[in-house]
Each structure stands twice: as structure tokens, then as C-alpha cells.
Structure 1
Amino acid sequence: MIVRLSGLPSVRNIAKMMFGTGLAQIVTFLATPLLARLYGPDSFGQQSALLSIVGPMAALTTMAYPVAIVIARTDRDAAAFARLALLGSIAFSILGTALLFVEDMWLMRKLGLAELQALVLLIPALVILTTMNMSAGYMFVRGEQFGVYARAQVVASGVGTAAKLALGFLAPGTLSLIAGNALSYLVAPITLMRTTRRSGQATRLTVGELKNVVWSYRDFPLLRAPQNFISAVSQAVPVIALTSSFGPAAAGHYAVALSLTGAPVMLLGNAVQSVLYPKLTQAAQDGDNTSRLLLRSTLVLLALGAAFFVPIAAFGPWFFALLLGPEWTEAGVYAALLVPVLWTGLANRPAVALIPAINLQGGLLIYEILGTAAKIAAVYVGLWVIGSARWTVGLFSAAGAVAYVLLVLWVYLSNCAIERKSK
């Protein structure tokens, strides 16, 4: 089906991305039982809580420029996007972290994250590394260097996992987990720099060129960046809520459940979205029928997801207890509860990839605001009305699943309307 829709080259590219991402996920999966026993739920929870601050901050400070790399009109524009994202992450992450120190870290204490105060100074470095990693990944996709990118993902997973294991035996704790992540973020940027230098494609940009790119692509910082920020906040809400109300162990169970159960979303979803993003953009620009590709790709992902998510929904607690040990049974419960949001999150990847191509970014911002409000409301009911961590995760998952289904319907119907007008 996908072959008929997008052609053999696209299938090869998806296969390359899936192979690289798959190997990376296998490395992580195989190491997780040992990591879970070395570190425990508290360390995973504190790491997850810190990264739930880094994620929204990175989404905002990069101004969505990494995403724009793929659809930049010229290679110089793409290089400018990478440069602007890095400059923004350096300047604004330092400013944002400084604001966390206001009133003796009032905000951290208000969010119930007082235990993370000693780690706050790591935030700017993690934001900058996250930005470099994202920009490098999109550069590989733009250049259709899917094989190189796939190898970089495998190396990154291996480096990060090896570091966590080594540090776990020497000094297990939150800082060791974060150090492993930081090292893994460096692999793609270093690979890109080596590739660029060998090919002689290093780009020097003037201030004037950067200004022109900022103005020409102003929709990204004005519309896409707030959307990315709100989306990152919606993902951070359950982690911060569980940490503040039930302690870091609850957040640790949630983080590990999300990591293992979300593997197919990372494996297949990112591979498909990375390849379909430029293909859908080109198809939309050429006036081809993208609605059929969107619908069939979505249905294929739903069918593929069933093979993994149905067993997790049925046997999650038993599987996690067997794999990670009895203390992680609760993570298996969370994994089963997360199935609706992860399954629909996998299926909505083609719709997300099509949004920039048909200029729906303004509507996407409104969608993210409403969707995030629904997720926050669900978490509020779970925490303050029912007072249960399981209900909090379950209601969050249900709200997210409904939001993702509505997103697919909105993009599909909007695209059909655009195609009808163009005929």
C-alpha cells in the first residue's frame, strides 16, 4: 500500500530510518532491565522531571527553526535556521534558567520540584544539546542522508546507554542518567560536522542573511514555536503532577512506562514522519492528491500499532514485573493506561507531517491550546478530585487520544477542502 502511494525510494528511506531507530531502541530496551535495577524509580523520576523543564524550554527558545530546516528554499536558508536555533537556545535558555532562581526558586517549589534545585544549572546545557541534536537530525533528513542519520542514532543510543551503565555501577543517581543523555545528544551534531567538513559544504552566513531568513519565515517563531511549546508542556504536565503529588518514584514509573511502551511510536512514527514530511510538502506544492496518502498512511499505522499495543493493554503489569522486577509493576499499569494516547499518537504522524505543507500552523496553535487545556483538566481531575496516580495517567491518556483523533480529522477535512478548491 505504501509502495503504491509514495514510491519505492520513500519505502527505502523509511526502512533505513526504521532500521536505525529500531537498533537504537533495541539497545535501550536490552539495557533497561539492568538500568532499572541500578537506578530505581526515584532517579528515573527526577531525571524525567528535569527533562520536563528542558523540553518546553527547548521548544520555545529554538523558535521552531529546526523544523523549518527541511522545507527551507535553499541550503543557506537551512544553515541559517540551524544557526538561529542555536543562538536562541543559548541566549534564552540562560535567561529562562535565571528566572527559575527568582524568589529563592519560588517556581520550582510551587511545582513541587524542590528536590531538583541542585540540578537546575544543568538546564541551559541540556537545552543547547537538545537543539543541536534536533537541528542535525533535520539537516540529515533535508539532505536525504537517511543512512547516515540512522547510523548516528544507533551510535547515540550505544554511547548514552554505555555511559549510564558505567556510571550506574560507579555512582548511580540522577546526575549519571542525565550525563548519559547529554553524551547521546552530541553524536548527531558531531557526525554532521564531520560530514560537512569532508564535503566542503560548511556555510558562512552574514547578519543580513540571518535577518532576511527571520523575516521570510516569521510564521515559525510566531505560530509554530508557541505550538511546539504548548505541546511540550502538555507532555510535561503528567510528570510534574506525579512528582509534586506522589513523589519522584511515581514519575519514574511513568517515565519508564512511557519510554518502553512508546518505543513503536519512536521507531515507526519518527521514521514515517521524517520521510513523509518532505514528500508531502513536495506533493502539496505540485498539486498532487495528498488526502488519499494521508488517509491510507494513517490506517496503516493504526493497523501496525495494534500488534504491539493490544498485548501491552492486556498484559502490561505482568510484562513489566517480569522484565524489570516486582518494584516496577506499577510502571506496567501505567503502560496499559497509556496505550490510547500512544496508539493514536502513532497514527497521527502523517497528519502532523502535512500541516506545514498546507499552511495550517495557525489552526494548529489553537488546537494545541485546546488540547493542552483538556489534558491539564484531566490531570487536575485525577489529582485533586479523585486523588489517584492511576486515574491521573488514565484520564490524561484518554484526553490525549481524543485530541489526536480530532487532529487527524481536522487535517484530513481541511486538506480535502483545499484540494477541491484547487481543481
Structure 2
Amino acid sequence: MDEKTAETEEKPSKNEKKASFVSDVLTLAGGTTFAQILTILAAPVLTRLYGPEDFGVWALYISITSILSVISCLRYEYSIMLPESDEEAVNLLGLSILAVLAVTGLTVPFVWYFKAPIVDLLNAPQIGNYLWLVPPFVFVNGVFLALNHWNSRTKLFKRLSFSRVSSSVSTTATQITLGLAEHPPTAAGLIGGSLAGQSVATFVLGGQIWRDDRKLITKSMSWKKIYEGSVRHRNLPFIDSWSALMNSISWQLPAFILSAFFAPAVVGFYSLGFRLLQLPMSFIGGSISQVFYQRASRAVSEGTLNILVENVFRMLVLIGMFPILILTIVGGDVFTVIFGRAWTEAGVYAQILSLWAFIWFISSPLSTIYLVVEEHHFGFNYNFFNLTTRFLSLTIGGLLGSARIALMLFSISGIVVYGYLCLKMMYYSGVTNSKALKIVFSNFVLFIPAGAVITALKIAGVNQALLVVISGLIICIYYLYILKTDKQIKEIIYEFKSPGKT
């Protein structure tokens, strides 16, 4: 056998690589699908057990824990994917968990000493009763982040899929059980369910990793190598942590600023509207992002990053644009029909945020490109700009006394900022802006006939329930159409069914 033949046999074909990517995404999406469906099905029950104020307090708790959780590993979790040897990666896993212990320890005195200022700043006395639950949530979420990145490195995505299902089941069951047990229900049920779900997810994923990898972990872990890893990847805590912290704060700003200017019920409306808008978007986007970072790390060295990014971007646009544009027309009707008239305002908020959510959906999975190409300073500068524009948008709306105006300005600034992020990631990966814009425009053309029909029905005053059903059917027809006519989709389905064929 000559050298060229041997090299050909050792290297996987393009079809095998693509099939592997799709297989990993679908493995993750399988578990995520069940988790998201369960969450969506439980939402009408939860909105009838808990009021908008309870959802508002829950949103504030999640916002606080989310900000702290994003730096719980000091961003060392992103280094786990980078080294070639598993032995080095194991020590980076250990470093990440040590960082979690340190950060969690610091949150205890922080919550203790700053409880009163936090309550006053947020204008929400109810949140003070639940701040003591912040450190345990930060701990379990931080450990999960570290384990999650190790799991991505090993590409055993079935483990992560199972942990997501377990988390969703335990979260939903706990929230409904506590909601039925309390008279009347309070935010404690929603918060307790979130903590229970995250704890179960961490325990399940950690147990599977320990079962499969404990020999490697116990054999390779050493204090010296952990220290060496902390020094080698010091840019992550010293540069990227600040970037990540600003990004997380900017995500949670709406809950904080809406709480400061308006009643907790407004935060509850925003929380439900954004949460259910985000769920289906993160269903595929989150799974793609999880696999994409691992694949992009390899594609850089192989010189195929531009091909990977263009294919993923096109798939995101194809999946996300059509339903989001439909939601901009019938969002209020959807929430009224499913959750009751008390939650119509949440549907209006979802309509306002929908276009921004789409831009976020297509750019978020690609946002790790700047880490892959080691442009850490871009992340800091971008997130500072994002945080500033969001703060100004929401504050102006708050000073004007209108939550809707605040969210409109927030959405507009998000479209501009995330649009810039998307184009910049294209530039780093070698994909031209003209190609990206052409993909977006060609998919928008598919929406025009459906959008015209739904708009006409809405203007004609068709019954809300009927309008929601028709909109759902049109979305189903669209997905059936692209499954049958889109070449890339057909190739992916064929390659997923026949991963060994070239």
C-alpha cells in the first residue's frame, strides 16, 4: 500500500465529516426536543398555577444566577477542548472545577452582605427571600459547564442528551408539584424546580462521565499540570471572563431594568415571552453550537472553517427565519389562545423581540469563532458595546414610562449589534458578506406569500384560535417543503442514514 493510499484511508471523507457533524447535532437535538416539548407543554399549566409576579421574581433569580454562573469556571471550561492529549484536557477539567469551588465560595459573603442593596436596586422585596439559594445554583451550574465541555471533547453526546431530559423532567415535575402543594403558589416553587433540575442534570452527567472516564481522570490528574494549565490559558480568566461577564449582564439587563422601573408583573410578562421565544430557537441552535465549537477547533487546522461556517449559517437561516417572521404577525394571538388573556401582553413582547431573536439565533452558534481563531480582544470590545447599547435602550424606555418602547429599542439595538457579530464571524472564517446576505434574502422570498396570507386573515378579523391553527399548519407545510426540495437538507438526511458511504 503506498503512502497516498494509506493517507486516504486514514482521513475521513467530507461526507463522513458532514454526517458525523449532523449525527452529533441530531443526537443532542433528540434529547433537547423532548426537554423543550415538555417545557412548552408544561407552560400553560404553570401560567395557571403561578401569576405574572411569581414569574417576575423567578426571572430575577435566574438572572442573578446566570451572571455568576457564566464566570463560575473563570472560562477555563473552554480550554478543555483545545489540547490534543486527553491527559492535558483532564487537568483542565480539574482546573475548571476548582474555579467553580472558588467562585461559589465568594458568592456566599456577597449574597450575605449585599442582600439589602440588591433588593433595593431591583425594587423587588420578594427576591430577598430566595437569595440564599444563589450559591448552590452557581455551584451545580458551574460543575455542569465543566462536565459539558469535557463531554463535547469526548463526543459522547448521548450522555448530554440524557442529562437534559432528566433536567427537564425534574424541573417541570418539581414546579408543578410545589405549585399544587402551596396555597397560594409562590415563586419558591418555580425557583425550587430550577435548582432541582440543574442539580439532577449535573449529577446525571457527572455520574456517566465518572463511570466511563474515571480511570483516565484518576491516572492523569496532577496539581502540577493543573497549575501549568492555569498559566497557559490565563487569557481566559483575565480577558475572556470579563467579556463573558458583560455578555451575561447584557442578557439579564431587561429583567433588572424592567424590575427597577415597572411592577414585577411586567418582568413576568417579559420572562414568559422571551423564554418561549428562546426555547424553540435554542432547540436547534444550542445543539449546533455545542457541536460547532468542537468541529470549528479542528476545521481551523484543516483549513475548512469557511465551508463549515457557510453550511451551518445557511442551515440556521433555513430553520429559523420562516417561523420567527410568522410570530411577528401572530405572537399576541398565540399567547392569548394558549395561556389565556391574562398573558396577552407577554405575546406582544414576543412579537417585539422576534426579529432580534432571529438575528441572535443565526449568530449565536457562530460566536465561538473568535475563540477558535484566538481573537479574545474582539469578544471584550463587542460585549462592551452590546452591554452599553442595551443599557441605554432599556433605560430610555424606562424613563419614558413604557415597557413596550423599552423592548422595541432593545430589539432594534440587538438587531444591529448581533448583525455586526454575525458578519464579523463570517469575516474571521473567510465567508464573504455577499454570500451571507444572499442566503438571507433567498429565504426571505419563501416567506412573502405565507406572510401575505396570514396578514390578510388577521386584518379580516379571523377568530384567534383559527388564526393560530392556520399559522401552525403553514409552518408545517414550509418545513415539509424544504425537506423535499432543499438539496442540502436532502444530502444531510442521506448522509445521516448512510454515514459510511462516500
* TM-score where L is the length of structure 2: 0.78
Q: Residue 388 of structure 2 aligns to which amino acid in structure 1?
A: A
Q: Which residue of 2 aligns with 1:329?
A: 344
| Contact in 1 for aligned 2:61/2:191 (Cα 8 Å) | no
Query: Among residues 428, 439, 444, which one is paired with 1:414 in the alignment?
Result: 428
Q: Which residue of 1 aligns with 2:411?
A: 397
Q: Does 1:189 align with 2:202?
A: yes
Deviation at residue 97 of structure 1 after TM alignment: 4.4
Query: Among residues 368, 387, 400, which one is paired with 1:353 in the alignment?
Result: 368
| Contact in 2 for aligned 1:111/1:240 (Cα 8 Å) | yes
Q: Which residue of 2 aligns with 1:420?
A: none
Structure-2 change in CA distance of 1:5 and 1:196 (3 Å): closer
Q: Does 1:343 align with 2:354?
A: no
> Please, which runs of 5 or more residues in structure 1 have no aligned partner?
418-423
Query: Among residues 64, 85, 93, which one is paired with 2:75 in the alignment?
Result: 64
Matched residues in 2 for 1:220 and 1:335: separation?
A: 34
| Contact in 2 for aligned 1:59/1:229 (Cα 8 Å) | yes
Mapping of 1:109-128 within 5 angstroms?
109-128=120-139
Q: Which residue of 2 aligns with 1:218?
A: 234
| Contact in 2 for aligned 1:337/1:397 (Cα 8 Å) | yes
Q: Residue 169 of structure 2 aligns to which amino acid in structure 1?
A: G
| Contact in 2 for aligned 1:334/1:390 (Cα 8 Å) | yes
Structure-2 change in CA distance of 1:103 and 1:411 (3 Å): closer
* Per-residue CA distance 1:272-291 (angstroms, 9 max, x = gap): 111111111101022x2322
Matched residues in 1 for 2:278 and 2:353: separation?
A: 9
Mapping of 1:33-112 within 5 angstroms?
33-102=44-113, 105-112=116-123
Percent of pairs identical after alignment? 23
Q: Does 1:25 align with 2:36?
A: yes
Q: Which residue of 1 aligns with 2:276?
A: 260
Q: Which residue of 2 aligns with 1:180?
A: 193
Q: Does 1:369 align with 2:380?
A: no
Secondary structure class of the residue paired with 1:351: coil
Q: Residue 358 of structure 1 aligns to which amino acid in structure 2?
A: V
Deviation at residue 177 of structure 1 after TM alignment: 1.0
| Contact in 2 for aligned 1:24/1:157 (Cα 8 Å) | yes
Deviation at residue 61 of structure 1 after TM alignment: 3.2
| Contact in 1 for aligned 2:28/2:158 (Cα 8 Å) | yes
> Please, which runs of 5 or more residues in structure 2 have no aligned partner?
1-13, 432-502
Matched residues in 2 for 1:103 and 1:276: separation?
A: 39
Deviation at residue 92 of structure 1 after TM alignment: 2.7
Bigger Rg over Cα: 2
Q: Does 1:289 align with 2:300?
A: no
Secondary structure class of the residue paired with 1:142: helix
Structure-2 change in CA distance of 1:416 and 1:98 (3 Å): same
* TM-score where L is the length of structure 1: 0.92
Deviation at residue 80 of structure 1 after TM alignment: 3.1
Matched residues in 1 for 2:85 and 2:265: separation?
A: 48
Structure-2 change in CA distance of 1:159 and 1:102 (3 Å): closer
Deviation at residue 35 of structure 1 after TM alignment: 0.6
Deviation at residue 187 of structure 1 after TM alignment: 2.8
RMSD of equivalent CA atoms: 2.1
Query: Among residues 157, 163, 172, which one is paired with 1:146 in the alignment?
Result: 157
**After the TM superposition, which parts of structure 1 deviate over 4 Å for at least 4 consecutive aligned residues?**
3-6
